[in-house]
Structures are given as C-alpha cells and as structure tokens.
Amino acid sequence: MRCDRLWIKARLATLAPQQPGIGAIEDGVVASRDGRILYAGPASQAPTLDPAETVDCEGRWITPGLIDPHTHLVFGGDRAQEFEMRLQGASYEEIARAGGGIVSTMHATRAASESDLLASALPRLDALLAEGATTIEVKSGYGLSLEHEIKCLRAARRLASERQVRIVTTFLGAHALPPEWSGDPDGYIDEICDRMIPAVAAEGLADAVDAFCEGIGFSPAQTRRVFAAAQAHGLPVKLHAEQLSNQHGAALAAEFGALSADHLEHLDTDGVAAMARAGVVATLLPGAFYSVRETRLPPVDDLRRAGVPIALATDCNPGTSPLTSLLLTMNMAATLFRLTVDECLAGVTREAARALGLLGEIGTLEAGKACDLAIWDIERPAELVYRMGFNPLHARVWSGK
Ligand code: DI6
Ligand code: FE
C-alpha cells in the first residue's frame, strides 16, 4: 500500500475508545496518506506499506495532536493591572461590577483592528502549538456588538491561514452586557437573536454558539433564547455553566443537546444526571479555577460515576485564565481535581474532540482520521502530566505535515 509517510519504532497512545486506558502500543507505527491516518497500530499487524518517506521515532511516544476545546484567544489589551488589584484583595466579581473585567477587555478589543487582533492572538496560538496542539477552539465575546463580534470571528478564522492548525470558532455574544445596553439585558439578547446570530450564521463565521449563564452574566431564561436562535440557524450550542454559582445551566444545556457544559464547579447531582442523559461533555477548566482561587471543586466523582465524558481546556482569556499551556492544564487537572493521567490525556485529545463534535475527524490515532500527531521525548505518558513548565515535544504533525 502506497503511503506518504511512515513513522516507525514509536510507542503509541492511540486513545482509541475500544482499547483500555490510553490504548498504549509498545512497538507501533503510523502511516499517513493525503493528510489522513492510513494505519496506526502494532508494527506486527501493519499491512505492507510502501512509504515515500520513513521517520524513525527511536522509541518516542506518539499521541494524537492535542486539542484545546475552550479558549478566548482573540482579544485586545491585557488585564495585568486587574491581577494586581486582585492581589490586593478585590474579588473577580467586584472588579466586574465596577466596570472592569470583561467590559474593560471589550473596550480594548473594540479599539483594535482585525489585523491587530490577529497579531496579538498569534503569540498565544504559537505557545499552544509549541506544546503539540493541532486543533483550537476560539470564541468571540469581547466585541459585544455585531460589528466587533464579526471582526473577532474573522480574526479567529484567519489564524488558520497563518499557521498549520485547525481552528473551530464559537460565537459568544452573550458573554457580558455591553455598556450601551446597560439596564436592558433583554434588549441585548434580542439584538443577539435577531441580528447577530443570523449575520454570523450567514457568513459562516461560527461553528457553535456559547453563552455565559451566571449571576454576573445572563439568566437561564436569556440563555434559552440564545440557544433557540442558534438552533434555528443550525448551530450547535455549548455553555459556560455553574462557574461561580448554580444557575442550573448544565441542565439547560442538556435540554438543548449541547456539545459541552464548561467550568461546572457548582454543578449539582441533578445537573450531572441531565448531562449524562443527553451525552453532554463536561469541559473542566482548571486554569480558571486556579486563577480565581476557587475553592469549590467540580464534582469529578459524580461525573465519573454517571459516565459523563470529561474534557480539559485552557480557557485562555485575559481575566480568569491567562494560560496557554495544555501540559500545565493537565497537571492542574491532576493536582487540583484529582484526574488520573489517563483521564488527563483523554481530556485533551479524544474527549476534547467529542466536546467539539469532531470525534469522527480527530482526537484518536485511528485509520481514517486526520493525521494530527504529537511526538514526545518521554519514557512514559505520565511525564506529560506531572512535570510543570517543561515541554518535551519532539515534533508536531498537522494533517500529515
Ligand atoms: N468565564 C470566564 O472564566 C471567562 N469568561 C467567562 O464567561 C472570563 C472572561 C474574562 O474575565 O475576561
Ligand atoms: Fe471561558
């Protein structure tokens, strides 16, 4: 069988769902053709392959390319000053209510051009890619008007032409109330449903729609309207749910067959059950938990028991998670949330793919999927989780390249 490239003498973590644990294979090979995996498995069972190029991995580990299923990578400015305020005792919610927080980033984002936003997002994207990421979800949500949300989504889409990476975009107009709608959140929700979602859908700028369902964000009733408008335009939904309080957002997400419910520190058992029934992925964001010094843990044991898939993401954003490392995200998920090494690795590969609705395309080393690989200079997979601030990536392969 002709193939473009053959990686040999590799140890594989296939993450294939029918294999136990991470699907470890000691003497493995991966073959690619036309950007797809032709074969990934034991060398002994490989078909006869006729590669144009062979790469000797010298015993290195190959995992699926890492996937970050929740980021706010595109924004203007930074919030280092608010970080200093929080160090002096101000809380995240106090700062948000005083006009800081998301709205301060909105001003900086509105002042930036599409090219400015692209330029400022690229170093953050590069940091993720340097650790083996091959697919990144990017949300809007700092423009908060039709014009500026569209600008952010266009900048996000342009990231994919600047680098070898798959970018999945999400419209998050319902992230915060912009000042021009002050006192009229329902009017802003009308604007989102009647103008913004139709425009974003017509331009094909978003792959999904998200909302911030929270005391300082939008109510469940408002979130419901956003979800209904998204579905009317054929867009799947996901939700920032139960981050700072229990608004029963996860159950609402489940009702709409959401791809994922994210954060979840305040999720209760009814919410867990609703997610399990509807097959909603729990995307945990330990970087945000760490940065806001949250003390309430997401109910990981309940999620496990109910069989809710668990994904991990950086939540890269200027306010609550200025984090651009999926390796550190895994370490935090293990240390802070007590996820196992296998759960952490699945969380940034297979389950992250599931959270994006792309499990048929990426997330495991299986024939037919995109050939997105991370090749690591490690002796055992646990090294990817237990070290902090060390990057053992040897090579990154995106679409076979
Ligand atoms: N939850 C978060 O943690 C981020 N957005 C959200 O809905 C915070 C965004 C920010 O503070 O800029
Ligand atoms: Fe977020």
Tell the residue nearest (CA) to atom 6 of ligand 1: 212
Structure confidence at residue 93 (pLDDT): 80
Residue with CA closest to ligand 1 atom 2? 320
Cβ burial of 44 (10 Å; 0-12, 13-18, 19+) is exposed
Alpha-carbon Rg of the chain, whole angstroms? 21
Which residue's entry shows tokens 């651009």?
A: 324
314 contacts 71 by C-beta, under 8 angstroms: yes
Which H or E run contains 70? none
Distance 244 CA to ligand 1 centre (A): 11
Distance CA 386, CA 330 (A): 8
Contact 327, 137 (CB under 8 A): no
Q: Which atom of ligand 1 is nearest to the CA of 318?
A: 12
User: Ligand 1: which atom is nearest the Cα of residue 176?
Assistant: 7
Nearest 5°: the CA angle 263, 386, 290 is 30
CA-to-CA dists, residue 310 to 71, 78, 295, angstroms: 16, 30, 20
Q: Rounded to whole angstroms, how far apart are CA atoms 367 and 176?
A: 42
The two three-digit tokens of residue 67, written as one number: 């996937």
Of 24, 23, 32, 22, nearest in space to 55 by CA: 32
Q: Is the pTM of this model over 0.85?
A: yes
From the CA of 260, how far away is ligand 2's center (Å)?
12
Closest CA to 215 of 251, 171, 185: 185
pLDDT tens digits, 91-119: 888 888 777 899 999 999 999 999 999 99
Residues of the chain with pLDDT under 70: none
**Most ligand 1 atoms within 8 A of CB, residue of 72, 320, 321, 329 to mutate:** 320
Cβ atoms of 51 and 4 within 8 Å: the answer is: yes
- The predicted pLDDT at position 91 comes to 86
pLDDT of residue 146: 98
61 CB neighbour count, 10 Å cutoff: 24
Identify the burial level of 194 via C-beta atoms within 10 angstroms of its C-beta, where 0-12 means exposed, 13-18 middle and 19 or more buried: exposed
Q: Distance from the CA of 214 to the center of ligand 1, in angstroms?
A: 11
Going by C-alpha positions, the residue among 263, 356, 375 that lies closest to residue 67 is 356
- What whole-number distance in Å separates Cα of residue 5 and Cα of residue 319? 42
**Residue of 212, 245, 260, 284 to mutate, ligand 1, most atoms within 8 A of C-beta:** 212
What lines the ligand 1 site, CB under 6 Å?
101-102, 105, 175, 212, 240, 243, 288, 315, 317-320
The ligand 1 atom nearest the CA atom of 96: 11
Counts for the chain of helices (H) and strands (E), in that order: 16, 15
Ligand nearest to the CA of 262: 2
Closest ligand 1 atom to residue 175 Cα is 7
Establish how many alpha carbons lie within 13 A of residue 65's alpha carbon, considering only the half-sphere containing its beta carbon. 30
Distance 217 CA to ligand 1 centre (A): 10
Q: Residue 96: what pLDDT?
A: 80
The pair of structure tokens assigned to 69 is 């299923």
Which atom in ligand 1 lies closest to the alpha carbon of residue 319?
A: 11
What spacing in Å lies between the alpha carbon of 72 and ligand 2's midpoint? Answer: 6
Region of residue 260 (phi > 0: left; psi between -120 and 50: alpha; otherwise: beta) = beta
Tell me the pLDDT tens digit for each residue of 255-282: 999 999 999 999 999 999 999 999 999 9
Q: How far, in Å, CA of 360 to CA of 237, rounded?
A: 18
